[in-house]
């Protein structure tokens, strides 16, 4: 039997607004427990929710990036259930009218584009954080009320790889649009995966298993691949897949059962009467979209068409928002875009990796890097010299010219007539080399360049020297 996996994803994204979705409590990360709350976050009787405008703006940005229909009225509902992490005993969410519906995003699989349908995007609020111990549980309400958007895909993903690419794309969108940190490790992007398998060609869905608590993008693929394999084996052996929730154990590299899903919980959704429907004007929606920073996809295209970068370099730059922003900042100081991309992707990234830091802590200003790239571009220094200068610039916190001066590097000679004079001198002194060259002895060329270097203490531009010497030899 040939099996086909059917995968759907529910992604929760924490929005990095200043205050919470329905209160003026601050949104922070890593502060002391229970210091970032106001009465509403702990559901004090009589407190009332007020909608965070910026949260709505952020949701609209993501809706737009996902080609969704954006509702022009905001409606909120209550999702009722009792749980120890839920302050009010209900969560304010959007059930009947999510702000975004019917969208898609495009991923690339084996060089081919594939559209993945997105059913809905809705705004809601986060719960408090629990820390379980053997005999007790600690509750931290700092997170309670943090704005969330939930993005629900259609079950159109067919492999772990597709799912991973889908999540990468979502993450890129929320990070580039400045709405979230998108860090799975810190929980600002959380992903629940629904996996079932069915016989290829079948229209019917198999029994769905939910995988929770996946805390990195690479585990998404691993968890799904494992789960597909597990379910396939069960069915091949004549067994039945149980409807359950599982978690991914990254040490064991397998999914483990958490709980059986019997009848699904009845959340008794009904409209939130404390927030009357809010009309979103066309202008508000337009502003939300137009104020959105440039997304990765558009940057990639721009880098390729305007800056002439290749797909590899451009993709590498936009794989990280801050790095692409650093690159953008450097372009204000140099026009050598391709060379600049090379320097950022090789030398800057190399430095970050070696020192295990992020770009925001990279000590060289975009202006300084731009200056260095300019020196290389006009052949003032060789590549090797430029690398030395790069290191010195960081050590001394100086610009390229100053570092060059400290290192005692003099500028390369790129004056053609001057180089030509030396070449002619060398040719005159070494007639045998010319003959050797014409007879095809490759070493002769290297020798003659060496002589030119010697006469100029290595200051001539090597490439230019090579070109001029070849031209000169042709004439003899």
Partner 1 sequence: MNYRELSIDELHELLVSKKVTPLDLAKEAIALAKADTNNAFEYIMEKEALEAAEALGEPEANNPLWGIPFVIKDNFSTKGVPTTGSSNILKGYVPVFDATVVEKLKAAKAIAIGKTTLDELAMGGSGITGHLGRTYNPWDRSHSRIVGGSSCGSAAATSDGFVPFALGSDTGDSTRKPASHAGLIGFKPTWSRISRFGLFPFAPSLDTVGIFSRNVKDCAYVLNALAGRDEKDSTSSTKPVEDYAKDIEKENKNYKIAVIKEIEDSISNNVVKDAFKKSVEDLKKAGYQVDYVHVSNELLLTLFPTYFVISCAEATSNNANMDGIKFGPLSEGKTFEEVMLNARTKGFGELIKRRFVIGSFALMKENQNELFVRAQKNRRRIVDAINDILREYNFIYLPAAPGIAPKFDDASDKLSDEYLIADNHLCIANFAGLPSLTLPIGFEDGMPFGANITGRAFEDKDVLKISYEIEKLTGLKNLVAKGGQK
Torsion sign over Cα 83, 89, 93, 94: positive
CB of 141 to partner 1, least distance (A): 9
Residues in the chain: 476
For residue 470, count CB atoms less than 10 angstroms from its CB and return exposed for 0-12, middle for 13-18, buried for 19 or more: exposed
Torsion sign over Cα 228, 234, 239, 245: negative
| CB contact at 8 A, 140 and 7 | no
Which of 80/342 has CB closer to partner 1?
A: 80
Which of 45/442 has CB closer to partner 1?
A: 45
d(CA 96, CA 79): 11
CB of 125 to partner 1, least distance (A): 14
CB of 174 to partner 1, least distance (A): 27
CB of 45 to partner 1, least distance (A): 5
| CB contact at 8 A, 271 and 75 | yes
d(CA 6, CA 14): 26
Selection from 236, 315, 296 nearest residue 2 by Cα: 236
Give phi and psi for 109, each to the nearest 5: -125, 120
Which of 143/299 has CB closer to partner 1?
A: 143
Mark out the alpha helices in 179-320 (DSSP H runs): 217-236, 282-290, 296-307, 311-318
Distances (CA, A) of 387 to 301, 368, 437: 29, 13, 33
Contact footprint for partner 1 (CB under 8 A): 39, 42-51, 78, 80, 82-84, 87-90, 137, 139, 266, 268, 270, 273-276
Which of 87/371 has CB closer to partner 1?
A: 87
Selection from 24, 14, 79, 80 nearest residue 47 by Cα: 24
Place of tokens 């042709």: 474
CB of 93 to partner 1, least distance (A): 13
CB of 334 to partner 1, least distance (A): 50
Which of 84/383 has CB closer to partner 1?
A: 84
CB of 270 to partner 1, least distance (A): 6
CB of 17 to partner 1, least distance (A): 17
Other beta carbons within 10 angstroms of residue 401's beta carbon come to 15
CB of 247 to partner 1, least distance (A): 19
Helix 160-176 to helix 217-236 angle (10° resolution) is 150
d(CA 240, CA 36): 47
Which of 78/321 has CB closer to partner 1?
A: 78
């Amino acid at each position: 039997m040939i099996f086909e996996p059917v995968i759907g994803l529910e992604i929760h994204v924490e929005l990095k607004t200043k205050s919470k979705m329905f209160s003026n409590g601050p949104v922070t990360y890593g502060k002391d427990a229970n210091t970032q709350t106001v009465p509403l976050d702990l559901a004090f009787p009589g407190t009332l929710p007020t909608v965070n405008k910026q949260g709505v703006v952020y949701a609209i940005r993501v809706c737009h990036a996902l080609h969704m229909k954006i509702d022009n009225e905001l409606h909120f509902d209550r999702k009722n259930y009792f749980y120890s992490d839920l302050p009010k005993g209900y969560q304010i969410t959007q059930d009947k009218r999510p702000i975004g519906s019917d969208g898609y995003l495009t991923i690339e699989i084996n060089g081919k584009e594939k559209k993945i349908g997105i059913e809905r995007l809705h705004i809601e609020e986060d719960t408090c954080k629990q820390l379980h111990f053997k005999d007790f549980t600690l509750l931290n309400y700092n997170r309670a009320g943090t704005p969330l958007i939930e993005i629900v895909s259609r079950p159109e993903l067919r492999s772990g790889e597709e799912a991973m690419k889908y999540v990468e794309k979502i993450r890129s969108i929320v990070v580039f649009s400045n709405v979230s940190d998108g860090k799975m490790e810190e929980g600002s992007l959380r992903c629940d995966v629904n996996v079932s398998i069915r016989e290829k060609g079948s229209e019917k869905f198999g029994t769905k298993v939910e995988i929770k608590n996946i805390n990195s993008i690479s585990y998404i693929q691993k968890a799904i691949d494992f789960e597909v394999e597990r379910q396939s084996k069960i069915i091949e052996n004549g067994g039945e897949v149980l409807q359950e929730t599982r978690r991914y154990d990254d040490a064991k590299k397998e999914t483990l059962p958490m709980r059986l899903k019997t009848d699904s919980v009845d959340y008794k959704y009904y409209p939130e009467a404390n927030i009357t429907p809010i009309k979103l004007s066309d202008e508000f929606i337009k502003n939300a979209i137009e104020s959105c920073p440039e997304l990765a996809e558009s940057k990639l295209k721009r880098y390729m068409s305007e800056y002439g970068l290749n797909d590899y370099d451009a993709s590498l730059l936009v794989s990280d928002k801050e790095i692409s922003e650093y690159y953008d900042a450097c372009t204000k100081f140099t026009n050598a875009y391709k060379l600049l991309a090379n320097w950022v992707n090789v030398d800057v990234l190399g430095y970050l990796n070696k020192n295990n830091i992020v770009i925001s802590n990279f000590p060289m200003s975009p202006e300084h890097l731009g200056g260095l790239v300019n020196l290389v571009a006009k052949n003032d220094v060789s590549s090797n010299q430029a690398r030395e200068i790069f290191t010195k610039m960081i050590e001394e916190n100086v610009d390229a010219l100053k570092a060059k001066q400290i290192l005692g590097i003099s500028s390369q000679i790129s004056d053609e007539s001057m180089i030509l004079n030396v070449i002619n001198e060398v040719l005159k002194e070494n007639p045998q080399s010319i003959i050797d060259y014409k007879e095809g002895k490759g070493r002769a060329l290297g020798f003659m360049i060496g002589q030119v270097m010697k006469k100029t203490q290595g200051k001539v531009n090597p490439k230019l020297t090579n070109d001029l010497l070849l031209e000169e030899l042709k004439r003899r």
